[in-house]
Structures are given as C-alpha cells and as structure tokens.
Chains A and B, each alone.
Chain A
C-alpha cells in the first residue's frame, strides 16, 4: 500500500484566482519608495547558455547588457534606434557607409578606454568569426557585405559595405554586437564561449563563471554612461551582486521563488502563473521579437509546395483556441509572420482569421474532393501533411500545439501527421527535401531586424534550398536590396503579407517569456529582446 501524504503539492496547484493585474513588460512590484543600494540578487535560469558570449550562438542568458554594451539601443516605446556607446551617427547617401561617433569617457572594466580603434577591432574580429561557422547567424547576415572600418579620429569610425545596409544601425543594437575590450578579442573563442574573458563596459562585471552552474556579476562602481531615455537612473547599479544559477526544474524555480531562495526566476510555467501572482510575486511577460514559432513548408513536397493546401491550413488553425487552451490571457496571438514588437512589423491578421468554411471552399474550388473517411483527396493523394518537429525543442511550434492543431485540422478534413525527429534526422530530412520525407516543419527564426527575414526566405536558406518560388524570392530580394527607408518599409510589409497570405509561414503563437519576480524586488524590466534587465533593480530588506 502506498500512502499518499496529505501535504500541499505546489507543482500541480494552479490556484483559480482572478488576478487581473500583471502581464506588462516594464512593471515593478508596486510603489515601494526610494530605491536602496546593496544586496545580492539570485536569478534562477532554466538552462545554461550554450555560449555566454552572444556573438557565439548564445541562447538563454538574460541580457548580456549587464556586463557588455552595444553601440546603439532601441527606444522602449517607439522602437526607434537611439544612442548607447555611439553618441551620434550619419548614414551616407546610398547607405553603403555609416559614420559613428563614440561617447566620451567610457572605459572597459579592465580600465582600457573605448576608442575608435577598439570598435574597428571588434567589427573586424566579428567578421573573422563569421568565417569559422561558430558565429551567431545574425552576425553573419549583418556583416555579409562588410568591407571594413576606417578610423577617422580617436572617437570616429566609418564602416563601409559593398551593398546598402540600412539595417546596420539596428543590428548593432543587438547583443551579438557587444563591444569588448582588446583583451577579449585576443582570447580564444572557447574562453569567450565559456564567459571567462568577456570584458565589457556594462554596469556589472563577470567575476565568476562555474560551467553549467552559475555566473556571478559584481557591480562596477565607476559606471556612469547609462543610455538616456532607457533606464530609470544613471550611475552605478543598485545591486551589489547578481548570481545567475541554473535550475532546470520549473517546479523548483517557482517553489524557490515563493520560499525566498530566488529573487527572479525565468520561464514560469503557465500552470504556476496564477498561483505565483496570488502569493504576491510579480509576473513580467515579454514577447520575443522574431519570426514567430510556426510551420514552414517543404517547398519540394507535393503538399508543402501547394499554395492552396497552405492557405487552407492557414485558415483552419484556431490560434485563439491554442492561446486559451495551452496558455492564458497574458499571452498574445500572432498577427503576422513576425512578432508585433519586431521593428517594421505589419498587421496582416486578416489572413490569420479562423475560417474553416473558407478553407473547405478553397479546397473544393481547387479540385479536392472528400474521400470516404472524410479526408480531402486530389489525384489520388490524401490531404495528410507530415509535420516534423525536433522532439523536446521549444524553438518552434511545440508538440502540444501541434497536437491541438491536428485536432483543429481534422475538423476540416485535413489529416495532419506529427513526425517527432531528432536533431540529426531533422537535418537529414531537410537536406533531402525532394524525397518528401516531410511536408512542413516546426520552427522559428531569430530576428530583431526584419533584414534577417530576407535571409530566412531567400532560397539560400537550407529550408528552401533547391526550390525556386518566384514571388517569394522576389519579395525577399526586394527587402534585402532596399536602398532607402521607404523602400525598406514597403518591402518588409509586402513580404509579411505574402508570407502569411500564401502560407509560406504558418504562425502558431508569439514567443513569450514569463519571468517571476519576488515581492521584495523592484525595478526589474524586460528589454526589447524579451530579456530581463536588472540595472534599475533593487531589493527591499524583508529579513527573509
């Protein structure tokens, strides 16, 4: 006989509270008075970043801006590019050269000053890394036409490109373009990846890295160059120390937050969110700007290559049901191929409305007939698309989401098959896409600047290689080669419309980070990347 202990098991308890608050992305835990300096903040991460240096395929570490900064930044409300380490800039006509003037008085934590030479060395170094296939792909895309940097004077650099690069100013606001001290650039990629040699200009300094366990950051007392209009204060940070700790089990993160062992925790599961808010913690949510998690066609398979099929699937997915069933109203439904907070986003939700009747009409009008089992058939082929996903990956549409979509499509007469594969099988099926091993794949694409969208939909992308879909190729190329801002805005809008209308991308949800903050922690913010920023954060002493 197994006796079930009658103790509250917090992990399953989703308290039904009608908490109407929370869900904003810059909120603090109420009005707690004047910020006080001091204290250590313990931050529970759900996983160890693949690399601590964002330029080298980093995933998972919150906001590298704690220890390293970028040349530009992004206005939190308008999304406009604003100064950070660069004070101002000028784009030459034709957009093939950009002159940047650096802020004065900035030093790295090892004491070396920020100069034009250092910035040039950083760009050259990044370009060199892109050749080694170890760089983050966005860096590769951002620097693919980079020719070189000229040092004009001590504080001025001129960056030259072979093609117009209107997205560059925004690209250099990404953490991939953190500016490091010369010592970092001379260290090995392994050491940078492990976080041992990252020397930046941020308000904190990395003082300890224990692989797979924790990263400790200590405050820099001489920090005095917070970007104007982004932070709530200037000068040194309030916290003495931040300890990032890896806690893979979500129940332990939530329990640890509620029992005071952690101050901030990443990835709060949906079932625990109401409970957490009910117990006084704050829940911050941040939409990650990207190509939203969704489905992408296999352009060479009969079903994935058929526009009518893709459009029918696009209309047969009830995205609100997905949100309400698997998430809650802190989450948003996608309204384009990219998240709503991505710069140059366009609302194309008219093509994303749930319209099962329209989908069936569309299929019937294009020669599909219902077979005896209720599934559409055309030329002897059943409408049974195979959708592959990497088991356990949370990058794309998840298994749960696909299972719900499978039910939704069934109502319309589409017999979707879910094909869980390993990373290796995924790559193999993708490389042999003409064999039709899959019709759609679950994925997403990192992107803060829509420039990157072009790279995701040109047929140089491995998911599309070997295909030529003229309208898509044209639309992506127009965005890629835009030489003026007007052209760029229009091309971005056109591409988004095409992607969604013709189902080149089938959005499922907006990727949203949910961060739990203990009641005595204030001033935690989420940056435009969906990452947590602790520069303004402070802790009230509750002697807990």
Chain B
C-alpha cells in the first residue's frame, strides 16, 4: 500500500510543478504582450480623454509596474503563493472574489453536463451494441460525428428557440435554480457525450470480437449481462483516460454556453478578462484551469484500479516517463 501512496504523492508533486509551469508561462506570455495595464484602465475602447500623469504614476506603483520584470514576477509569485491574486485591472475588485463568485455556477453547470454526457454517451453506445437491428445501430452510430461537428452556440440557440421562446418550458437566461441549468447543460453535454459515445462504441465493438464473449455466449449468459459485465468493464478504461481531457473541454465550452444563456460563471469571466486584457484575472484563471486538470487527472488515476485491479498491481507509467 505504501507504493500506492507514494505513487499518489508523486503525482501530486507533479501536479504542483504543472501549476507552477502554467503560472510562469502565462506570466511570460502576458508580459510579452505590448500591454500597459494602466493604459487599459484609463482608456476603455477608444475613449478620447485626458488623464493626469501623476495619477498614472500612482496607479503604476500600485501594480508594481515600475519595477523590473524579474521583481514583478517574484512579487506576483509571492502573492499567489499566499493566495492573493491581486485586483482586477478594470474593476479594481479582488480577483479571488470574482472567481469565488463565478466558480460555483460553472462547476454546477460542468458537473451536470458531465453527468449528462456520461449517461447519454454510455446509453447510446450500449444500445448501439446491444441492438440486433442494423438500421438502428447505423443510425445511432452516425449521431456522435454530428454531435461533435455542430457548433455549440447553434445548438444553444436552437434549444432556446424550441424549449424557451417556443414552449416556455425553461427560462432563457440567468442562474435561477435547476430549470435554468437544464438547457445550458444539455448544450454543453452534446459534444462531450458524442466523444464518449464514439469511443465507447468502438471499444465495445472490439471487445465483442474477443474470445471470452464467445465463451460467455456459449455458456448461455444473457446478451445484456455479457454486455454490462464482460464487455463494458474492458471497454470503459480508454474512455476513462479521456475523461480528464473532456472535463477541461467542458470548462472551455462554458465560454460559449454561458454567453448564449446569459449565465454568470468562469467562462464569461474568462471572455471578459481576455477582451479587457485583465492580466491578474487571466493569470488566476489559468492557474485555476491547470488546477482543475491536475485534480481531475489525479481522480482518474485513483479510479483506474477500481475498474481493473490489474492496473494497481503493475508499476504505473507516469507522465514523466521514469518507470522505476
């Protein structure tokens, strides 16, 4: 068991390195941009106005911008380690407050969408494999490519037209309880569930051709039981691997979905921070996204052995590649 704990500790340490690297890269990139946050603060969108130079200098000092780059980096890193991401450039609000306000909404949305996409993806793949009707299988298997290729905002607008403006079943906008979560989550879930369905269906098909399925068939095990107990367990492992990546996609998708459905959340915050070149907020958002990736991948690593006990017994192959 110590090996297992050590393995997790190593993965966690790698996670910290990933976070630091994400922070540093973002800092460098944002620093390289021809940008002066003070100018951004003072001239929004082509406003033709004059500002007192003394006030500019004061703002510059407030944001450490009068210091050399390396010092700015160290200042910022020090602040971040203490959990202080500074203040948003355009609004002067604390970045941590902004994120704390936005994160729960996006997490709700992402988790619900995630659950939907796993369930619908699995249902589609299993039905397609289980059914003996060729036409139904063909039809079901042709859905995932459509789901991936249709733009998310279009799905969102169509759903709004049908289920909000048309029938009035769901509100079109806002963060107003469960009803307002349904349409955005469905929209967000379409592309991810398509990925799950596609991959799972392929793996199920591969597993179905294995000799142990024939054995089970020969023993007279019912078709449904073979599917769920024999084929699915083996076919699910590759799907689990992409779950980590997919969860990140959900966060990225939130940018579009939150705009279409007028939901406040991390996606909208990101969009604003990018358009306004709000460096402190962007830096915090990148670190947050990296942290979410790290955590989800860690969780995936923990779940693997539960699905397939063999994985726990073999020395795991780490991202870094040392196979000790």
Contact = CB atoms under 8 A, between A and B. Distances in A.
B158 interface: yes
B4 interface: no
A100 to B, nearest CB: 27
Nearest to B172: A256
A212 B51 contact: no
A148 interface: no
B169 to A, nearest CB: 11
A393 B93 contact: no
B15 interface: no
Interface string A119-155: 0000000000001111001001000000000000000
A3 B277 CA distance: 40
B78 interface: no
A231 interface: no
Interface string B145-188: 01001100000011011101110100111110000000000000
B48 A461 contact: yes
Contacts of B45: 390, 393-396, 423
A436 interface: no
A258 B172 CA distance: 12
B309 interface: no
A252 B160 contact: yes
Nearest to A505: B48
Contacts of A131: 52, 55
B46 A396 contact: yes
B34 interface: yes
A245 interface: yes
B46 A211 contact: no
Interface string B5-43: 000000000000000000000000000011110011111
Interface size class, chain A: 35 or more
Contacts of B324: none
Nearest to A392: B275
B44 interface: yes
Interface string B185-215: 0000000000000000000000000000000
Contacts of A1: 142, 146
B127 interface: no
Contact of A7 (B43, B47, B162): B162
A425 B43 CA distance: 12
Nearest to B98: A211
B276 A249 contact: no
Contacts of B142: 1
Contact of A189 (B33, B44, B92): B92
A136 to B, nearest CB: 9
A255 B49 contact: no
B103 interface: no
B217 interface: no
A247 B49 CA distance: 29
Nearest to B174: A245
B165 A258 contact: yes
B202 to A, nearest CB: 20
Nearest to B173: A247
A245 B262 CA distance: 9
B43 A296 contact: no
Interface string A402-430: 00000000000000000000111111100
Interface stretch (A102-110, A322-330, A437-445): A437-445
B67 to A, nearest CB: 19
Nearest to A446: B47
Nearest to B52: A133
Contact of A456 (B35, B48, B93, B276): B48
**A210, A212, A444: which has the most chain B beta carbons within 10 Å?**
A212
Contact of B43 (A8, A423, A456): A423
A208 to B, nearest CB: 13
Nearest to A188: B92
B264 A213 contact: yes
B248 interface: no
Given A2-B149, A423-B276, A7 B158 contact: yes
B51 to A, nearest CB: 6
A461 B46 contact: no
Given A190-B92, A423-B44, A428-B36, A259 B260 contact: no
Nearest to B35: A424
A261 B47 CA distance: 34
A424 B36 CA distance: 6
A389 interface: yes
Contact of B49 (A137, A189, A261, A393): A137
Interface string A441-461: 111111000000001100011
25 contacts: A44-B173, A132-B55, A132-B58, A140-B52, A190-B93, A193-B93, A211-B93, A245-B174, A249-B259, A249-B262, A252-B160, A252-B172, A255-B161, A261-B164, A390-B46, A423-B39, A423-B44, A423-B277, A425-B34, A428-B39, A443-B48, A444-B46, A460-B50, A462-B43, A462-B49
Chain A to chain B: the 7 pairs with minimum beta-carbon distance, closest first: A133-B55, A427-B39, A424-B35, A137-B49, A393-B45, A443-B46, A259-B165
Interface of A: 1-2, 5, 7-11, 44, 50-51, 57, 59, 131-134, 137, 140, 189-190, 193-194, 210-214, 245-249, 251-252, 255-256, 258-261, 291, 296, 389-390, 392-396, 422-428, 431, 441-446, 455-456, 460-463
Interface of B: 33-36, 39-52, 55-56, 58-59, 90-93, 98, 101-102, 142, 146, 149-150, 157-158, 160-162, 164-166, 168, 171-175, 259-262, 264, 268-269, 275-277
